[in-house]
Amino acid sequence: MDQTRTAVVTGASSGIGAATARHLARAGFHVFCAARRTDRIEALAAEIGGTPVACDVTDEQSVAGLARAVGDRLDLLVNNAGGAFGSGPVAEADSDDWRRTFEVNVIGLVQVTRALLPALLASGAGTILNVGSTAGRIAYEGGASYTTAKHGTQVVNETLRLELYDQPVRVMEIAPGMVKTEEFGLVRFRGDREKAEAVYAGVAEPLTADDVAETITWMATRPPHVSIDELVIRPKAQAAQHKVHRVV
Ligand code: 8X3
């Protein structure tokens, strides 16, 4: 019997997702690298000996294709696909931005979880690891579509843990704070690099995607009876969302 542990990482084309795929592969997992951008996941999968799967988590048919590619058994699902779209105040809420943010951070996560749950159960000791955010713990100005959606991610996480309490699948969440990745800020600020960079201005060491990926891998490799229910990870410079040590 093939004992290689398998993992699915959504949003594997960049940032935390790509770094997590690399770290999990190093830890011995065969990783299904799922994302929309096929060129990126093909290159990543070739690099780590994984399997690329073109998948848009917001599209049910596409998610069904991911479940088919994975097959009957899966050890670990990292629901990483997410993002913030737009940064306007509630008074100027762009409904399309809000829908898009909910689609990927909440509905997409639910769709992937639902589709892969049978395979996770079949493993006998499955893990669902959702990538939330400190934005799912607090509110801040100009971020409500994202903070609201990430609160949703956190509630899905808690609900799943209750619903699966007697099943062989544990449910965990990592909630990162300030992580500097190539795309997150650019997407949020619609390509405005200056605004995206300003978030990290003067912060000596924001977290990197590797910092988060290494922690995800640690969480996922605890013995099956251990559940790291929620883990908040921030750079030391970010004592709280609004309290960031900057040297300018
Ligand atoms: C991203 C963290 O601080 O931009 O998930 O809300 S923050």
If one residue of 134, 211, 233 were mutated to test the ligand 1 pocket, choosing by the most ligand atoms within 8 A of its CB, it would be 134
Q: At what angle do helices 15-26 and 209-220 cross, to 10 degrees?
A: 50
Mean pLDDT over residues 187-216, rounded? 93
- What CA–CA distance (Å, rounded) separates 105 from 136? 11
Residue nearest to atom 6 of ligand 1 (CA): 135
State pLDDT tens for residues 83-137.
Answer: 999 999 999 999 999 999 999 999 999 999 999 999 999 999 999 999 999 999 9
Residues in the ligand 1 pocket, defined by CB under 6 Å:
133-135, 176-178
Q: How much of the chain exceeds pLDDT 90, in percent?
A: 90
Å from CA of 86 to ligand 1 middle:
13
Q: From 146, 188, 232, give the residue whose CB has the most ligand 1 atoms within 8 Å, as the site to mutate.
A: 146
Confidence class of residue 204 from pLDDT cuts 50, 70 and 90? confident
Kindly state the average pLDDT of the residues 184-212: 92
Q: How far apart are CA 136 and CA 124, in angstroms?
A: 30
What does the alpha-carbon distance between residue 104 and residue 200 come to, in Å, rounded to a whole number?
A: 24
Q: Is 12 helix (H, G, I), strand (E, B) or coil?
A: coil
Q: Ligand 1 centroid vs 95 CA: distance in angstroms?
A: 20
State the distance from the centre of ligand 1 to the C-alpha of 69, rounded, in angstroms: 32
Ligand 1 atom closest to the CA of 185, numbered from 1: 4
> Which residues are tagged catalytic?
146
The residue among 207, 215, 205, 181 whose CA lies nearest residue 84 is: 181
Output the average pLDDT for the chain. 96
The per-residue b/e assignment along 14-33, b for 16 or more CB within 10 angstroms, e otherwise, is bbbbbbbbbbbbeeebbbbb
Taking the C-alpha atoms of residue 144 and residue 84, their distance in angstroms, rounded to an integer, is: 10
pLDDT average, residue stretch 35-47: 98
d(C-alpha 216, C-alpha 108), whole Å: 20
Per-residue pLDDT for 150 more than 60?
Answer: yes
Closest CA relative to residue 51, chosen from 32, 65, 69, 66: 32
Domain ranges of the chain: 6-179+207-236
Angstrom distance (rounded) from CA 7 to CA 28: 10
**Ligand 1, atom 5, residue with closest C-alpha:** 133
Residue with structure tokens 């955010």?
133
Q: What's the CATH number for 6-179+207-236?
A: 3.40.50.720
The torsion defined by the Cα of 183, 186, 187 and 188, in degrees rounded to 10, comes to: 120
Condensed to tens digits (0 to 9), the pLDDT of residues 58-77 reads: 999 999 999 999 999 999 99
**pTM attached to this predicted model:** 0.97
Is the pLDDT score of 145 beyond 80?
A: yes
- For residue 201, report the phi and psi dihedrals to the nearest 5 degrees: -60, 125
- Residue 1 pLDDT: 44
Whether the pLDDT of residue 3 is over 80: the answer is no
Atom 2 of ligand 1 has which residue's CA nearest to it? Answer: 177
Place 2 in a pLDDT band, splitting at 50, 70 and 90.
Answer: low
Looking at residue 125, its amino acid is A
Single out the residue of 89, 35, 29 nearest to residue 57, CA to CA: 35
* pLDDT at residue number 248: 79
